[in-house]
Amino acid sequence: MPDKLILLVEDNEEDEELALRALRRAQIADRIEVARDGKEALEYLFCEGVWRDRDGSRQPDLILLDLKLPKLNGIDVLRRLRADERTRRIPVVVFSSSSEDEDITRSYCSGANSFVSKPVSFSCFAKTIGELGEYWLSVNHSPSRPSPPA
């Protein structure tokens, strides 16, 4: 499997730690970057702020996005991603503690590729993360991304 990169966008420290442990255990990505709010996620993706020196030609192969984030919520992040040619084709899985119909509908209408409610137990959480990663990084075929502007 080629070098795979996941961007985890999560503000809850416990959920972040669970997700990182589960992703490492599943061995589905070579790198996992973490953004702790919506603004930081966009700065990472668009190489701004502290991420301005990041190689923008290497975008994540998968984004796991929480909805309820400080500074900029997940729906706003999704809308910005889908509005930009550089990021519109990156698979985004909303991974939220919510299971509200309104959140699910808004996520899909804003461009989410999938919506998954976070399981409560670690074993279910780990299994779900592993299955998500396996599907999106190994089974699914995503379209090629455009080259970065010169």
Please report the pLDDT score of residue 3 as a whole number. 85
Token pair belonging to 79: 């809308």
Name the pTM for this structure: 0.88
Query: Could you count the other beta carbons within 10 Å of the beta carbon of residue 127?
Result: 14
* Domain spans of the chain, in order of start: 5-139
Q: How far apart, in whole angstroms, are the C-alpha atoms of residue 123 and residue 105?
A: 27
Average pLDDT over residues 70-74: 93
The per-residue pLDDT for range 125-143, each reduced to its tens digit, is 888 888 888 888 878 777 7
CATH class of the domain defined by 5-139: alpha beta
**Cβ–Cβ under 8 Å, residues 100 and 67:** no
Radius of gyration of the chain (CA): 14
pLDDT at 97 exceeding the cut of 90: no
Write the pLDDT tens digit of every residue in 111-123: 999 999 988 888 8
Q: How far is CA 135 from CA 55, 64, 103, 120, in A?
A: 26, 13, 23, 21
Looking at per-residue confidence, does 130 or 36 come out higher? 36
**Nearest partner of 74 among 16, 121, 10, 145, judged by Cα:** 10
27 near 134, Cβ under 8 Å?
no
Helices and strands, counts by H and E, the chain: 5, 5
Higher-scoring residue by pLDDT: 22, 46 = 46
